Amino acid sequence: MQISKKYWLIISIIIFLLTGVILYFVVWGPSNPVKKLQKKGPFNFILITVDTLRADRIGCYGFPRVKTPTIDNFAQHGIKFEKCISQTPLTLPSHTSILTGTYPTFHGVRDNGGFLVPQELTTLAEVFKDAGYQTSAFVAAYVLDSKWGLNQGFDVYYDKFDLSKYKTISLGNVQRRGDEVIDEALAWLKDHQNQQFFTWIHLYDPHTPYDPPSPFKEEYPNHPYLGEIAFTDFQLARLWSFLEKNGLTEKTILVFASDHGESLGEHQEKTHGFFIYQEGVHVPLIFVLPEKELQGLKRSSVVNLVDIMPTVLELARLPQPREVQGQSLISIFTQERKEPGWAYSETYYPRFHYGWSELKGWQNQRYKLIMAPRLELYDLIEDPEESNNLIDSLPQLGRKLLAQLEEFVAKTSQGAYEIDYTHIDEETRQKLTALGYIGTFTRQQDLQEKKLGDPKDKIHIFNQLSEARETGLKGNFDRAVRLIKEIIRDDPEVIDAYFTLGNLYFKHQDFDRALEQFFIVLDKNPRDAFTIINIANCYIMKGEFEQGEEFLKNKLKTIPPDSQVYLILGNIEFALKKYTEAEQAYRECLRLNPSSASAYTALGGIYVIQDKLNQAEESLRQAARLNSRLRNLHYNLAQLYEKKGELARAIEEYKLELENIPHNFRASFNLARLYRLLKNDREEEKYLKQTIESNPRFPLSYFYLARIYLNRGERYEEAIELVKKGLDLKPEKKNLPLGYFLLADLYNRLGDNGRSQHYAHLGEKIVREVKK
């Protein structure tokens, strides 16, 4: 009996429909574990990011040489993604991708320290906050300070970094240990455990410098990086214990990830940021889920860190912002993807800091292409170390992957944010331009016509410059200078070499040589605001305020308006007592940057001098609202209250200034002066000694301290030495008589009438000259 084609068509349609129904119930039906999980909600959410943690240095990712029982426990209680890729091996850009679900090609944050997260982007925290969740973040590194913009949507953003204790400010050395971060997080969680919450905990310990505390230092004596990982795991155990003890493990979804890896010398890179090989971009990703059917699972599909945000939002049943580019991973919670996943990585660090090419990567489970001046193609299964470049042997595959990469970049760049790195607040930029992390930035447009160097050909220069910086930080000036000069001979186009050399000379107080190097940088990059500011600071340190003023006014004619440049110009004109011009410069700074606490502080200082006390107080209070720990803020408030005759409030403000800036010698000196008026010579002595410690080259503090000993009738020999030290420092002529008269009195007390009369005559002579 022959079956008609129509019959077979009907049978095929029925089979197709039945298959669809079966698949629906298997994947999304009532028995689906994801649906079962979601019905248990709503949940709390905790995002943990461990900085600089490569996946292949964790126990549950196959590395037995380090103890990570807590992270291993996370994997047992959730889904472990074995091939998660970071979008960039730099902390701020990577976290921006995690918390916005967008690629660097879109959000535009491509380096640490010089970029702000666009306010227009919607962060994961903002979505939770809008849904009524309590939100908090606890970050361990200055590179994630709120000033960079990732605090959007967080009710609490714990980022209180005390920079005053550092002689040299760099993003790497301003960090908080994991125990302190966890302490703060647990205190907040304790207070909010009965509310719906989303919290982000960032731990920085595996980042350089590697210095694990005991007993981890002793347990991993030759591998401090592993010691830091073990210490981090120990701190995470405290968090998990808190969740268990308070019954929160069944009410909380926890996401564990790292922002990027660490090269540890592979491909000759010691740390991270320069290359995008697997050791720098392969990171852990674990979703800890309170549903037994979703625990102890692992997925080998290639995924991206940008996938975290859409996955979390789908788990929370919250709307996804339109600009999110990541893909929710819920569809592969229960089964692997049939089609290969793809991941994108990039680093612009070589381009911004050295004028060499950026790197872009495109990979699936097997093949990885790196777009560089000389393309790289690796088989990650046969060659996981990425040591055998297949681009010449597999040219057709290389062209195919390159076309996919270019298409992806073009697609994800549509509507991208363009960020000008110069628009960071001026207090921060002053700290970061010190010898340390960021150096100069080379603008994209300045490099478009140049043939850019290939980073893999330049790694030795990168390493040598890093060594020179570390050597300089340790105080070995001569060796640091020698290393940088070798770099310049090898590649005269490395702008950061000249900039770093200039910083070394600056810190060594060789301002002429510093100027020489900074002008070389400016010749190569005429619009670099960092360099312009450093040149102005050299003029300030040399006392050449007129030259500094002329230089800045000329540069302002050729560069885009820059708030920091106007601030420095105002400071120079203030020093020249050109108060009207200084006020104009500060006003222009505020027009460009209305949040400039420094400009409000400086304006307040001008108004105090001009006896415009109401305007002064208004400006200074506005500065305090913006940044209550700013240098000179409380000093200027103290000056204001002195003019008002409110000495108690003035003393309070001077003390606040010293709490924030312990080495502000003018604040301690003025405190001593006020305590003299109040006839409290013990406090006067205390603050004069603090003044000498803060600034040993300030003559009056020696004179005043000697006067205390004279008035007490004690320590005459010591007082004489103090006065002589003050005189050796060549004080202003108007202050010389005080020193001479003190010596006359002191020698008189010792019965040395000859010397007493000699110094008395010198003092009287100077008094007559000053009166003329």
- Beta-carbon-side half-sphere exposure of residue 127 (alpha carbons within 13 Å): 22
Our measurement of the distance from residue 96's CA atom to the centroid of its chain's CA atoms, rounded to an integer in Å, reads 13
**Token pair 């010898």 is at which residue?**
435
Structure tokens at 297: 């699972």
Q: Which of 490, 542, 494 is nearest to 514 (CA)?
A: 542
| Residues 634, 654 contacting (CB under 8 angstroms) | yes
d(CA 415, CA 110): 16
Runs of H (alpha helix) within 444-509? 444-447, 455-473, 477-490, 495-507
Helix (H) or strand (E) holding 45: strand 44-50
The pLDDT of residue 162: 55
Helix (H) or strand (E) holding 302: strand 297-304
The pLDDT of residue 754: 95
The pLDDT of residue 432: 47
Q: Tell me the three state secondary structure of residue 478.
A: helix
| Residues 602, 567 contacting (CB under 8 angstroms) | yes
The backbone region for 267, taken as left when phi is positive above 0, alpha when psi lies in -120 to 50, beta otherwise, is left
How far, in Å, are 224, 436, 666, 735 from residue 701 at the CA level? 46, 33, 10, 11
Sheet holding 252-258, edge to edge: 156-158, 134-138, 197-203, 44-50, 252-258, 282-288, 78-85, 297-304
| Residues 560, 568 contacting (CB under 8 angstroms) | no
* Torsion sign (Cα): 684, 687, 693, 699: negative
Q: What DSSP character marks residue 165?
A: G
The pLDDT of residue 435: 29
Tell me the per-residue pLDDT of 418-461, one tens digit each, with 9 for 90 and over.
765 555 554 555 444 432 344 555 544 454 546 899 999 999 99
* Longest Cα separation, the chain: 142
Tell me the per-residue pLDDT of 376-420, one tens digit each, with 9 for 90 and over.
999 999 999 999 999 999 999 999 999 999 999 999 999 998 765
Q: Which of 181, 123, 180 is nearest to 155 (CA)?
A: 123
Helix (H) or strand (E) holding 260: none
Q: What is the residue type of 81?
A: F
d(CA 267, CA 473): 25
- What does the radius of gyration of the chain's CA atoms come to, in whole angstroms? 32
| Residues 436, 465 contacting (CB under 8 angstroms) | no
Ranges in the chain, pLDDT < 50:
1-3, 5-6, 8-9, 12-13, 16, 19-28, 164-168, 171-173, 426, 430-438, 443-445, 447, 449
**How many residues are recorded in the chain?**
772
The pLDDT of residue 161: 67
Q: What DSSP character marks residue 611?
A: T
| Residues 17, 270 contacting (CB under 8 angstroms) | no
Structure tokens at 221: 């004596």
The pLDDT of residue 648: 96
| Residues 465, 453 contacting (CB under 8 angstroms) | no
Helix (H) or strand (E) holding 363: strand 359-363
The pLDDT of residue 30: 52
Tell me the per-residue pLDDT of 692-745, one tens digit each, with 9 for 90 and over.
999 999 999 999 999 999 999 999 999 999 999 999 999 999 999 999 999 999
d(CA 417, CA 117): 10
* DSSP code per residue over 55-70: GGGSGGGT-TTS--HH
Q: What is the residue type of 772?
A: K
The pLDDT of residue 736: 95
d(CA 207, CA 110): 19
The pLDDT of residue 10: 54
The pLDDT of residue 2: 46
* DSSP code per residue over 386-447: --S--TTT-HHHHHHHHHHHHHHHHHHTTTPPP--TT-S-HHHHHHHTSSSS------HHHH
Q: What DSSP character marks residue 435?
A: S
Bond into 594 cis (ω within 30): no
| Residues 377, 389 contacting (CB under 8 angstroms) | yes
- Secondary structure of 313-359 as H, E, C letters: HHHHCCCCCCCCCCCCCHHHCCCCCCCCCCEEEEECHHHHHHCECCE
The pLDDT of residue 451: 82
